[in-house]
Structure 1
Amino acid sequence: MKKVISTIISVVIMLCLSLTAFAEPELQTPSDDDISVCYLYTDKISGTLSISNKAATCKSTVRGISGTTTKIVITQTLQKKK
C-alpha cells in the first residue's frame, strides 16, 4: 500500500513540475517611441486617478525648476479594461 501511494505522489509531483507558465506579452503603447528623459528639470510632480460613478478622472501637476524649465508637456492615456 505504501508503495502505491508513493508512486502516485511521485507521478503527481512529476506532472506538476512539467507544467509551463504562460504570460501575456507586453503591450506597446503608441507613445513608447516618444519617451524622453523624465523629471530632469522638474521641482515637484504629482499625479492622481479618481473613480466616481464608473467615471475615471486623471490629474497631473508639475512644477518646473524656476529659471531653468521653459516647457512642460504632460500626456495621460487612460485605457479601459476589456
Structure 2
Amino acid sequence: MTSYCAFRALSFEQQLPILYAEGEFVANRYEEEDAVNLYRLPGGFFVELFYDQHENQVVRLRTFTSSQQLEDYTPYIDLSDLGL
C-alpha cells in the first residue's frame, strides 16, 4: 500500500502503474475536453486521472485527501458509500 506522501513524491510515470494496481475506480465526470476518473487508494486518499479524449492520453493526475474535493462527484455517487 502506497501512502499519500509517498505517492505524491513519485513522478507522473511512476504514479500511473500504482494508480492502476492499487486504485479502486469510484466515478467519472467531464471537465471541458477531459474525462476525469476518480480513484480511491488504500492509503486513504483520492486521485483524479484527467484523460484527453481527443489526444487519447492521460494528461495529468490530481491527488487529495479532503472530502470537499468530492463535491463535483455528488451527482454521480453517494458519499456515504465511501464511508465519508
TM-score band w.r.t. shorter chain: under 0.3
Structure whose alpha-carbon radius of gyration is higher: 1
**More helix per residue: 1 or 2?**
2
Higher RCO, 1 vs 2 (CA within 8 Å, ≥6 residues apart) = 2
TM-score by length of structure 2 reads 0.26
**More strand per residue: 1 or 2?**
2
